[in-house]
A and B are shown apart, each in its own frame.
Chain A
Amino acid sequence: MSHAFYLDVDRCTGCSACAVACMDQNDLEIGPEPTAWRQVFGVETGAGSTARIRYVSLACMHCADAPCLIACPAGALRRDSGTGAVVVASELCIGCHSCSMACPFGVPRFGKDGIMQKCDLCSVRLEYGLEPACVRVCPTKALRQGDPNELGLETERKAAERLAAGS
């Protein structure tokens, strides 16, 4: 089974519990720079009575055809054999930022040591049957993790319910 994050944007309210749970799980030292592995954005559209605010929580997408993995000249990025997550071997990273340029989501972060760091999907937790920290903490259950086909089916079922209710 492959693993993926799924965000139900209709349930995300920008509380950022996921970002902090990630910091706690990974002992992240957060200084003045935005080095958190998970970031939450408030996206505003319209104005006044038509204004709408939506929230999106983002971290590494663990792409199947990961551009960072191809771009890395040092072989520091690899796919975890068990979970399929894209993980970084920090001892191999040379801090060249090629992954940053390749990543369409702006995920790679660089701490004081200049070495790339990012979400590893809590691969170890997954191996032991535990959810990623960000998924476990989410107060509205907006953030989920699992097989992308299973997650898709669940969303599809909800869409079917809406279609049936509207008919």
Chain B
Amino acid sequence: MDKLQRMIKGKIPGEATGIEVRKSVCTICDPSGICGLDCYVKDGRVVKVEGTLESPNNAGTLCSKGAAQRQWIYHEDRLRAPLKRIGPRGSGAMVPISWTEALDTVVQNLARLKAESGPESVVFFCGYPKQPRPFLQRLAFEFGSPNYCTESSACFTAMAMSWRLDYGQLAGPDMANTKLVLVWASNPFYANTPNARRMMDARDRGVKFIVVDPRLSPMAGIADLHLRLRPGTDGALALAMANVIISEELYDRQFVAEWTLGFDEFRAYAAEFDLDRVERITGVPAEQIQEAARLYATTKPAALMTSSTPVVHHTNGVQNQRACAALAGLTGNYDVPGGNVPQTFSWLEVSGAGFTTREHEFAMPRPWSDMPPRLGATRFPVWTEMIDQGQAMDLPRQIATGDPYPLRGLMAFGLNHRMWPDSKGFLAVADKLDFVCVTDLFLTDTARHADIVLPACTSVERSELRCYPQKYVILTQPVIEPLGEARSDTDIIIGLVQKLGLRDPLLNPADSVDGPGRGFLKNGAPDMGAVFEDALDWILEPSGMMVSELKKHPAGMPVPNAAPPAFKRYETKGFPTPSGKMEFTSKVLEKHSDVPGHVALPVYAEPKLSGVSTPEVAEKFPLVLNTGSRLPMFIHSRTFRLPWPRSLRRQATADINPATALRLGIDQGNHIELSTPQGSIEVLANLTELAHPETVHMFHDYPEADVNALLAGDYLDPISGFPGYRASLCAVKNVGQSTPAPTTPNAGGGKEAS
């Protein structure tokens, strides 16, 4: 092989090889901080990726999902043209159609439904990525529908709500300045991986870690103290810690006296959670609870790290999370350096980026009061009061009942029906809708039920604005042309605004002259890059940043004149709660006390299904079922079809503790039946100490083994509407070994197949 051939094979960038490194971001997962992505491009094709060194978030690194980017971009299943359904819903019988026909069909149907049943009969949904969200909400509101909802109906929002019920604001851990982190069920080694490096670096600096987690996760593995609780008992554990902190006088007396509401009631209630009782509830030894409480309360400053889902994916999720969050205020760690710092969002739920935008004003061009009640308004009144979205978990109920009004249309961008408990039931009711349009990269199992499917493009084929808590901002440009006729989600949304003739001075300007990025291509596809940029300039106006400047920095740039951090702002402004104080007893919950589960104190309740609350169910289904535990190579439904990550864990596999498996006569790689009162699936057993002894951890969204189909549709937290994915009941039994066991080691624990 000559020198040039070696260089090309080794993908060395430069003039000789014709390989150019272009900057983008990875949005295969979409937490608050996405990773910078260097794309090695040759002849218009990405030949390799790696993390962007300049990105303060991922600093050159990626995870096992992001590194498989090329299989995501160039997968043979990528949709390359709009599709029209020609067979029954779910059959997958689709034919390609032109963009003109596709958009005309969508617009005709939306206009028809609006005329027949009112604009509120159409639901607008956004899953991953989050990038088009403000644009879709604007479209929904201009169309006249209050029914804008997102994947955040099962992720993040309930956690933020819990903090807001206590403090009026979500407060995140100040990792850079802390001495101890109480990591409450977060594991950045599997999800949101840029934080993994920060955890390791903090440990090297001597920062102590207390980790609360049912699993022996990599995070728990590096803990100084690991509290291994039974899933769903977080509230009891937090209340027991509060009781130790209060009774041993380790709390911040001055903060509690001056800045809190309801402390006496809270103290009295926490006193019911003595160590012996809580050891019985949680399975965590009493002395460990006591040690954790003392360590957290006496190490100053200490930060509390909560996570988007683990504590709130329970039927008592919000109250459990409130009890955890209350520990920060109780110990004087709220709004202090190294403690928990209140967050104000800059753009797409990223906080601390050091600038403000008009995102809210852009996304909500009219007030809620202008429109009929949104999804979940009656069933989840606290959600409705606090969150500027509908609660999508109420979607199946309202479609089925037509109460308070009929829903007939669904315009979805990235819809995954396995996000709903009783996922099959969701599809059954969704099939009753008059018109469904899904925009996605692939003809997913959900998209097969749509009437029209529109082809979206990946992050490397589009432009998007992202920012970071490290006071950094990036506006990406496409690094390759979109595949086939695929378009960016925002192109499609702006195209719809224009085709629907909605009055929108930004997205459908009256005096617009057609030109590149301001109209439709010859094939009818929307091409709205210039309109998108104008909208961004309007949104960014308060920040002082402009698209023209951002485009000069392809790898992103530090936010100019970023606002410096400030602490103890409540001393001048009070807390943004009804009382102006931190509320141990929530005024918002008190107001809705007529709704079951709405109690002012952060009360503890067993999971709706557990050995304690439903012993009759537990007799047949004795193990806890957790369908939300993460694995490093998968993110929801998104990377199953990619051969590289899939090779790391080839078959649908449940993690079971070896001691439990031994008791049940289950060996490594055995086929097991995992059943609940709703049904069963067949998967392989992976015996690992990672798994909690009483719990079966089964990753969700497998098309061939859909575990969320085994939950009841109403298995929800009454306050947030979040599903109780992390603790229900199940049984497993060995059904023999009919196919070979996995031959590769399972990353994330697990022994070699026997």
Contact = CB atoms under 8 A, between A and B. Distances in A.
A14 B748 contact: yes
B689 interface: yes
Contacts of A24: 48-49, 67-70, 644
A129 to B, nearest CB: 10
A60 B62 CA distance: 22
Nearest to A51: B689
20 contacts: A15-B189, A15-B190, A16-B648, A17-B67, A19-B648, A20-B644, A21-B62, A31-B643, A40-B745, A42-B750, A48-B659, A52-B689, A122-B10, A125-B12, A128-B12, A136-B50, A136-B61, A137-B61, A139-B61, A139-B62
B558 interface: no
Contacts of B524: none
A34 B96 CA distance: 37
A90 B200 CA distance: 40
A47 B744 contact: no
A136 B36 CA distance: 13
Most chain A CB within a 10 A radius of its CB, from B61, B688, B743? B61
B193 interface: yes
A31 B650 CA distance: 10
B749 interface: yes
B9 interface: yes
B267 interface: no
A91 B60 CA distance: 34
B390 to A, nearest CB: 35
Nearest to A89: B1
Contacts of A165: 206
B659 A137 contact: no
Interface string B742-754: 0111111111000
Contacts of B12: 124-125, 128, 130
Given A19-B64, A44-B751, A48-B693, A139 B197 contact: yes
Nearest to A48: B659
Contact of B747 (A30, A33, A42): A42
B11 interface: yes
A53 B216 contact: yes
A4 interface: no
A44 B688 contact: yes
A24 B11 CA distance: 11
Nearest to B204: A158
B648 A42 contact: no
Interface string A20-39: 11011100111111101001
Central interface residue in A51, A55, A122, by most chain B CB within 10 Å: A51
Contacts of B407: none
Contact of A136 (B7, B60, B648, B688): B60
B51 A20 contact: no
Interface residues of A, number: 48
B404 interface: no
Interface in B188-232: 189-190, 193-194, 196-197, 200, 206, 216, 218, 221-222
A53 B747 contact: no
Interface string B161-197: 0000000000000000000000000000110011011
Contact of A30 (B63, B216, B647): B647
A155 interface: no
A118 B749 CA distance: 25
- Name, among B51, B190, B194, the residue most crowded by chain A CB atoms within 10 Å (CB to CB): B51
A151 B746 CA distance: 29
A46 interface: yes
A140 B10 contact: no
Interface of A: 10-11, 13-17, 19-21, 23-25, 28-34, 36, 39-42, 44, 46-48, 51-55, 122-125, 128, 130, 133, 136-141, 165
B658 interface: yes
A30 B189 CA distance: 24
Interface of B: 6-7, 9-12, 48-51, 58, 60-64, 66-70, 189-190, 193-194, 196-197, 200, 206, 216, 218, 221-222, 632-633, 643-645, 647-648, 650, 658-659, 688-690, 693, 743-751
A128 B7 CA distance: 9
Main SS class of interface, B: loop
Given A20-B68, A30-B647, 4 more contacts: A16-B648, A19-B648, A124-B12, A139-B196
Nearest to B658: A47
B287 to A, nearest CB: 12
Nearest to A11: B200
A42 B746 contact: yes
Contacts of A52: 221, 689
A19 B82 CA distance: 35
A139 B11 contact: no
Contacts of A14: 189, 218, 632, 747-749
Nearest to B219: A13
Given A39-B745, A44-B751, A125-B10, A15 B63 contact: yes
A79 to B, nearest CB: 16
A15 B48 contact: no
B67 A137 contact: yes
Q: Which of A15, A44, A55, A123 has the most CB of B within 10 A?
A: A15
B218 A13 contact: yes
Contacts of B9: 124
B747 A40 contact: yes
Given A20-B68, A20-B645, A39-B745, A46 B50 contact: no
B173 to A, nearest CB: 18
Nearest to B285: A49
Given A13-B189, A25-B11, A140-B197, A42 B67 contact: no
A142 to B, nearest CB: 8
B715 to A, nearest CB: 30
B197 A21 contact: no
Contacts of A10: 222
A41 B745 contact: yes
A128 B4 CA distance: 13
Contact of A42 (B64, B200, B748): B748
Contacts of A32: 650
